[in-house]
Amino acid sequence: MTDSIAALTARIRAGQARVGTVGLGYVGLPLSVEFASAGLPVVGFDLSPEKVAAINRGTSYIKDISDDRVAACVTAGRLRASTDMSGLSDCDALIICVPTPLSKTKDPDLSMVVEAAKAIATRLREGQLVVLESTTYPGTTEELILPLLAERGFEVGRQFFLAFSPERVDPGNPRFNTRNTPKIIGGVTPACTAVAQALYSRAIESVIPVSSTQTAEMVKLLENTFRSVNIGLVNEVALMCDRLKVDVWEVIEAAATKPFGFMPFFPGPGLGGHCIPIDPLYLSWKLKTLNYRARFIELAGEINSEMPEHVCALVADALNDQRKSVKGSRVLVLGVTYKKDIDDVRESPALDILNLLEARGAEVSYSDPHVSELALNGRTLRSVDALEGARTSDAVVIVTDHSRVPYREIVAAALVVVDTRNATRGLDSTKVVKL
């Protein structure tokens, strides 16, 4: 064991290793709080003065992390935030948690990862651990991050350590959080894996090492590609059932009684969030560079991306049955976040549905207990009362099935309801058109 490995491992085990998280979003802040709660001193780095100020005064902007948890860590002196990247050199471990969106051409945009890696590289010192958590394609850690860090002349696995650990955040999940969700770790060398495992074991209940960074990178993409493909399959089954005049929800419920060989997935208005709509495209992009076409990924993406159009067609048919056209009709969208009981609208299919309905001439409004206002086509929409909106609209579309919405009263008040989530199960079916 080299002196660097021994010294860093000893500091981690003694609870003295200083952790720096680069990026304080929905991955970085929860991770920072867990490390601080486990007794390690944590500095969060972010370019947003608003986020930094919020953390330093002990408040949270992430729904799953309470103000009390942040305040407790700050008061104990174990958590602070900064926009000053010069402090990176003071940290023993640095974890990159910045966004990795797609470009307009659907190619991976790793610009924020590169900038974070460059900021670390210019300040890298012997004995530091660097971990990439941002979702990316297999090979990124060693092909992109390692060369930047190696410019300082240090040897990876001996003088500094580099690993990949995929984030597995599920916003709004009441059962699984950062601490009790198993953590995958893959290092560039066995020593890198061992050091990273020692660090995460301080704050995470279960840490699972794998053989390489590429394996760890592929794990995250498999997880979300699995979900994307299966959602694409069940969305296509929903389209089939629509033509066959069969209730797809009843079909799935019955199939789910089989105790083996079947896992229920459910149709919906389209994919949302940062991970499921985007991660499979990272894998598909990488494989194109290897002259391989990811056919399942592409087909699932095609089906899922067409679901907002299908929802709008259902709205048009429902209005037509009421002797009304989409143009000029008042349509209320219930729920604009990408999943229930959260406040995140990233990549939400509700945004596409609002735009598509408005393009067809509808007068759109929305109601969401978690989103008070929303930007749409250069203007700001504000959430309306769900029940009052249902009374004054020609059609209601349930896009996100939040728990706090009074669906029974809405069905009673509405002229027609298009339900994409089976939220109206057991209610007046004469008013409801289901996906």
Query: Given this model, what pLDDT does residue 1 score?
Result: 58
Neighbours of 137 (CB within 10 A): 23
> Strands 161-164 and 183-187: what pairing?
antiparallel
pLDDT in tens, 21-48: 999 999 999 999 999 999 999 999 999 9
Model pLDDT, residue 275: 80
Interval 214-248: pLDDT, tens: 999 999 999 999 999 999 999 999 999 999 999 99
* CA–CA gap between residue 413 and residue 409 (Å, rounded): 6
- Concatenating the DSSP letter of every residue in 298-343 gives HHHHHHHHTHHHHHHHHHHHHHHHTT--STT-EEEEE--SSSTT--
Asked which of 101-110, 200-209, 399-408 is least confident by mean pLDDT, the reply is 101-110
| Residue 243 vs residues 200, 247, 310, 396, 433: alpha-carbon distances, Å | 50, 10, 12, 22, 14
CATH architecture observed for domain 3-211: 3-Layer(aba) Sandwich (3.40)
Q: Is it the case that residue 325 has pLDDT exceeding 90? A: yes
> CA-CA distance, 374 to 382, in Å (whole number)?
6
Over the chain, what is the mean pLDDT?
Answer: 95
Beta-bridge partner residues of 46: none
Closest residue by Cα to residue 269 from 299, 314, 226? 314
Residue whose pair of structure tokens reads 């001193």 in the numeric block: 41
- Residues 184-210 have a mean pLDDT of 97
| Strands 395-398 vs 42-45: parallel, antiparallel or unpaired | unpaired
Distances in whole angstroms, Cα of residue 9 to Cα of each of 166, 182, 184? 22, 21, 19
Say whether pLDDT at 429 is over 90.
Answer: no
Summarised one tens digit per residue, pLDDT across range 139-161 is: 999 999 999 999 989 999 999 99
CB–CB of 371/391 below 8 Å?
no
pLDDT above 90: residue 321: yes
DSSP-H helix ranges across 131-212: 140, 146-150, 190-200
Q: What are phi and psi of 62, to 5 degrees?
A: -110, 125
pLDDT digits (tens, 9 = 90+) for 285-318: 999 999 999 999 999 999 999 999 999 999 999 9
267 and 234 Cβ atoms separated by less than 8 Å: yes
The Cα 433–Cα 310 span in angstroms is 12
Q: What is the CATH number of domain 233-434?
A: 3.40.50.720
How confident is the model over 327-342, as pLDDT tens digits? 999 999 999 999 999 9
Task: Decide: residue 63, CB within 10 A, 0-12 exposed, 13-18 middle, 19+ buried.
Answer: middle
Please report where in the chains the tokens 């969060």 appear, as a residue.
Answer: 44
Q: What is the pTM of this model?
A: 0.92
Percentage with pLDDT > 70 across the chain: 100
Indicate which residues carry an active-site annotation.
Answer: 275
The pLDDT value given to residue 103 = 80
In the chain, ranges of CATH 3.40.50.720 domains: 3-211, 233-434
